[in-house]
Chains A and B, each alone.
Chain A
């Protein structure tokens, strides 16, 4: 698990009310059974944690933790 993925999994934990196993392959919306508003709330936490901007536009192509990690790394300059 990369550092970004593990940080994202930690940030995702409060939203993981079903106790799903979290990994790079986790589909944020369907595996955790959370609605679109909750996904946006989670992304806001990610933005603040990494101090980056993640426009809502990228979310339509971001399904898994690995997808989101790529977005984060591209924007923190690690990608």
Chain B
């Protein structure tokens, strides 16, 4: 039996997608022109699917910091933090993020994916139970699997459902970890944190919030959903990524627990991988300083998110959630129509993400936009206009009905 024979269904699905036009899961940015512009298929294209929330990737100071680190520390670290040692830059990055987050401890990872893999598997073990939101990101699911803990899934954003499942639990004397996300990556909705914290007070568990899409974005200090809700003291552990509002690559876990630092010796995705490259660490340090010093970026992002959200709502589009968010998902009728509309949008000059089952909740087909503080009003109005032409005018329905 050929090991790869099982990929045939995927190959056929990909071929069906490509037969409808471009390759929606294989886009190449031939040249990056700015945080919000690239050349795709030789055409200048507005980028509305980059998660580049702060538009910080071409910031002159961040680039200069990266170039300096490249010259001073070299191209790579060639080893892991544990086996080969840290660079001073890694320790500085952790100290700066801990200070920004108002936490005693911060551990950085090479990618955001590894941050979740590391934190889930470091915090929970085979005797413990992890309760995870049904719509959790794959990195949370994979981290849960790696932990060996008992895994119980609760209905999305439903604190009463978590309460019920905790009440149902057999008493096994293990620890309990509940995992939420600040902003859910597909639909753009936020966890109702106060409701979950009421359940925490009733049952007593430890709470981790993944602020991947909300770090730098929400809250008076830009620390995420818990900052916005004024509930940071109730959150035991925070996870985040450097690949969105920080504009680099990497991830972090943070907390105040006195044993937190010992997680470094209990997280395989931290121990057995090369540490992040000097340039990426240095640009992350420069970026977090900017997030602290320039709250106007958050304000601009909130205004831009509201502009796109209201514009889409005025077109009568069905959206992922009922509140303005930097993630704006448009619900589409089915897979062929979604692919056709994605192609039409790209040809007209805007790149968004296509999101299809099983990567989406409830088998939804989505055209997912992410808003940037670097989008101009004209960019956003053009995106709205194109969604009006392509999506609201029934282009999708026509394709779906043949």
Q: Which residues of A contact B (CB under 8 A)?
A: 35-38, 40-41, 44, 47, 51-53, 55-57
Contacts and interface: CB of A to CB of B under 8 A. Distances in A.
Contacts of B153: 40, 44, 56
B134 A55 contact: no
A56 to B, nearest CB: 4
Contact of B150 (A41, A51, A55): A55
B150 A40 contact: no
Nearest to B144: A56
Contacts of B150: 55, 57
Interface of B, helix, strand, loop or mixed by DSSP: mixed
Contact of A56 (B152, B168, B169, B358): B152
B382 interface: no
A55 B129 CA distance: 9
Closest 4 CB pairs of A and B: A35-B358, A56-B151, A37-B358, A55-B150
Nearest to A56: B151
Contacts of B129: 55
Nearest to A52: B168
Contacts of B358: 35-38
B230 to A, nearest CB: 32
B299 interface: no
Contacts of B155: 44
Interface of B: 129, 134, 144, 150-153, 155, 165, 168-170, 357-358, 361-363
B3 to A, nearest CB: 18
Nearest to B166: A53
B363 A38 contact: yes
A53 B357 contact: no
Given A35-B357, A52-B168, 16 more contacts: A37-B357, A37-B358, A37-B361, A40-B153, A41-B134, A41-B362, A44-B155, A53-B152, A53-B165, A53-B168, A55-B129, A55-B150, A56-B144, A56-B152, A56-B153, A57-B151
A62 B215 CA distance: 38
23 contacts: A35-B358, A36-B358, A37-B358, A38-B357, A38-B358, A38-B363, A40-B153, A41-B134, A44-B134, A44-B153, A47-B165, A47-B168, A51-B168, A52-B168, A53-B152, A53-B165, A55-B150, A55-B151, A55-B152, A56-B144, A56-B151, A57-B150, A57-B151
B129 to A, nearest CB: 8
Contact of A53 (B134, B169, B361, B363): B169
Nearest to A75: B170
B151 A53 contact: no
A35 B364 CA distance: 13
A51 B165 CA distance: 9
Contacts of A40: 134, 153
Contacts of A36: 358
Contacts of A41: 134, 362
Nearest to B169: A53
B28 to A, nearest CB: 28
B165 to A, nearest CB: 7
Nearest to A43: B153
In this complex, which of A35, A38, A44 has the most chain B Cβ atoms within 10 angstroms of its Cβ? A44
B18 to A, nearest CB: 21
B153 to A, nearest CB: 6
A41 B155 CA distance: 9
Nearest to A54: B152
A5 B81 CA distance: 52
A63 to B, nearest CB: 15
Contacts of A51: 168
A47 B153 CA distance: 10
A52 B167 CA distance: 10
A40 B144 CA distance: 15
B188 to A, nearest CB: 18
Contacts of B144: 56
A71 to B, nearest CB: 14
Contacts of A47: 165, 168
A53 B169 CA distance: 7
A57 B152 CA distance: 9
A52 B155 CA distance: 15
Contacts of A35: 357-358
Contacts of B362: 41
Nearest to B150: A55
Contacts of B151: 55-57
Contacts of A57: 150-151
